[in-house]
Amino acid sequence: MSDMSEKSGIRYKRILLKLSGEALSAEDSILDFDILTRVAAAIKKAVDRGVEVSVVIGGGNIWRGREGGKMDRTRADHMGMVATVINSIALQDTLISLGTDARVLSAVKIEPFAEFYSKEKALTYLAEGKVVIFSCGTGNPYFSTDTGAVLRGAQLEVDALLFAKNIDGIYTADPRVDKCARKIEAITYDEILERHIAVIDTAATAFALENDLKIFLFGLDDPDNILRVIEGQAIGTVVSRKYAQENHMRG
């Protein structure tokens, strides 16, 4: 971590933010532009403080491959990839309107809507202070945007992955149906796999474990939670390969 980061109160200098598509939607619209603007404003605050921000957005507010019924799984998943492009362009436009440059990079060739992904291009844009938004997941069917997020996080060697959901952390049970459910402050990837906790998909969990990544899972009800995590504040649930000292401090 640089001296500049320490002086600015920033704990994680390069991050990847995974946004749930559903968390950006409204009851009567696939996108809630009020929420989108608040999220973009929080991202802008982070960039203005010297944080390198990349983003992956799910497409669940528009389409999920498993909703395809009897459709061929590959074609259904391709539709989901297109949904992530729509969300990515919407966030890009909102960021630019707030004065923060942003580029959409796609795992599949889809010019002129998005540039084709390369690690070198992404790192160059981040160093220039641009927000990099990754669309189309890994570019392959059968893999979710969670897996796309951890893949890009590993490739870019981010300090932390921030998973912003429509729930404020991982719980011992579904808090919507079990009043006794309690939020877990820290958990390992092994525990998630052993207990079949579905908040992060299995492929993404196994990949994050193998590559020793750190994920912070928290609620997007207040978009400034993004900044709080970057500053090192204890919110949501931290997921890591093993219980580090900071994890025990959170519990």
Work out the average pLDDT over 99-123. Answer: 97
Q: Is the pLDDT of residue 2 over 50?
A: no
Q: What pLDDT, in 10s, does the model give residues 62-79?
A: 997 667 778 999 999 999
* CATH fold for domain 3-250: Carbamate kinase (3.40.1160)
Percentage of the chain lying above the pLDDT 70 cut: 92
Asked if 239 and 207 count as a contact pair (C-beta separation under 8 A), the reply is no
Percentage of the chain lying above the pLDDT 90 cut: 77
Asked if 138 and 151 count as a contact pair (C-beta separation under 8 A), the reply is yes
> Domain boundaries in the chain?
3-250
Residue 15 Ramachandran class (φ > 0 left, ψ -120 to 50 alpha, else beta): beta
Helical (H) or strand (E) element with 225:
helix 225-230
Q: Is the pLDDT of residue 82 over 80?
A: yes
Tell me the C-alpha to C-alpha distance, in Å, between residue 65 and each of 28, 82, 143, 226. Answer: 21, 11, 10, 28
Q: What are phi and psi of 18, to 5 degrees?
A: -100, 115
pLDDT value of residue 243: 66
Distance CA 90, CA 94 (A): 6
Beta strands in 52-177 (DSSP E): 52-57, 102-106, 115-116, 131-135, 160-165, 170-171
Distance CA 16, CA 48 (A): 16
pLDDT value of residue 107: 97
